[in-house]
Amino acid sequence: MYCIEDENLPDGFMSSARQIEKFTSVLPYAMSLTLFPIAWYSSLTGGWTVLLLPLIGWFLFSLGDAILGLNTMNANPNTPDHRLIWYRRLTIIWVPLQLITLFGIIWIATSSNHLGTLEKICLFFGIGVITGTIGINYSHELMHKKSRTERRLSDVLLAMVMYSHFKSEHLLVHHRYIGTPRDAVTARYNESFFSFFRRVIRQSLRSSFEAEKAMLARKNLPWTDLSNPFFRYWALQGAMILLALVLGGWAGLGLFLWQAFVAVWQLELVNYIEHYGLTRKHLGNGQYEQVGPHHSWNAAHMASNWLLINLQRHSDHHIKPDRRFPLLQNHEETSAPQLPYGYHIMTIFAMIPSLWRRNMNPRVQQWRKMYYPEITNWKPYNKALNPLPR
């Protein structure tokens, strides 16, 4: 999709046709909003319809990738922010819609008798797919923005899946240490997703807290200072737990925590895919080369990039983290490694370790030959090394 600027018209006199064009350009990305009425329909109908959300989220967009193919076109990266208003509104409106849907369906599921236990489990599995695949992704978009409002909305989305520390981990650790042993979410070569998941759940919480603590220490403040965002994280998560209890009792809390687990599982599947086996060259004395486009896996598949608001253009995100999603640039195979399929298919591969390694290990080997032919001993890069001292 293009974000087209009309340089011949002043901002105050942009034609109505141009305004319509700007609105319609966001519609493919806004297809994700249709998942909310589907969620409500499933909760009110029950039966086989409780499977609609994961089927659509995983398979329909994968089918779309197969039909529509790749989109390698790039928008003008210098498009000013005020011309991206509809893209910004999309990420903002998602927050209240997800909040109302999640807790509204908790109330429906626990206050009516038309849903059996298995139906509730399947329904909230599907909701977790939404809050993880899309909700956390929108949170990721919002946390990188300068607007305080957008950053706070990011906190709300993460609190709905009990993973608020992801914001600190992502901003302070991942973007700085990607491709090094210091970054927990850079998946090691030959590491299975299940080993990765257990490791990341433990390490990311610790590293994010230590990163915030270190920032406060540089200001001569203790970690207990109220400016520590972890107090905001804990308060928001506590509010979500309380709301689930009020609306649905212990059963409501159980369903809330179940969807949160599924959402985090979805997030870490994507984290696993994004940098698997890609490492920055060690320069000695604890120093690493700068991050480049070749340190992230990319996918140009059109339909899944609509759903994931161009997250698969991941190299450009690491080059320009605050760039809004419609302006993220596609990198060709000559400058960045490419996945054979979109993230939806690759997450399925990731949960089958033998299938994942058969598809991805040869690509990592080729990547090493292409970018680092001078490195003959990859053993230090193949295993999860102990983090370097801070």
Note the pLDDT tens digit of each residue in 149-192: 999 999 999 999 999 999 999 999 999 999 999 999 999 999 99
Torsion of CA 4, 10, 12, 16, to 10 degrees: -50
Strand partners for 301: 70
Burial of 71 (0-12, 13-18, 19+ CB in 10 A): middle
Q: How confident is the model at residue 82 (pLDDT cuts 50, 70, 90)?
A: confident
Identify whether the C-beta of residue 199 lies closer than 8 Å to the C-beta of residue 164. no
* Cα 21 to Cα 23: distance, rounded to the nearest angstrom: 5
**Two tokens at 119?**
């139906």
Contact 96, 24 (CB under 8 A): no
Confidence of residue 58 (pLDDT cuts 50, 70, 90): confident
- Summarised one tens digit per residue, pLDDT across range 241-282 is 999 999 999 999 999 999 999 999 999 999 999 999 999 998
Kindly report, residue by residue over 178-190, the tens digit of the pLDDT: 999 999 999 999 9
Query: Residue 197 and residue 181: Cα distance in Å, rounded?
Result: 16
Q: First vs last Cα of the chain: how many Å apart?
A: 42
| Length of the chain counted residue by residue | 390
**Among 241, 40, 254, 271, which Cα is nearest to 160's?**
241
Q: What type of residue sits at position 274?
A: E
Residue 390 tokens, joined: 């801070």
Position 24 pLDDT exceeds 80 = no
- Asked whether the whole model's pTM tops 0.75, one would answer yes
Could you tell me if 336 and 313 are in contact, meaning their C-beta atoms sit under 8 angstroms apart? no
pLDDT the model gives residue 2: 45
The pLDDT score that the predictor gives to residue 389 is 35
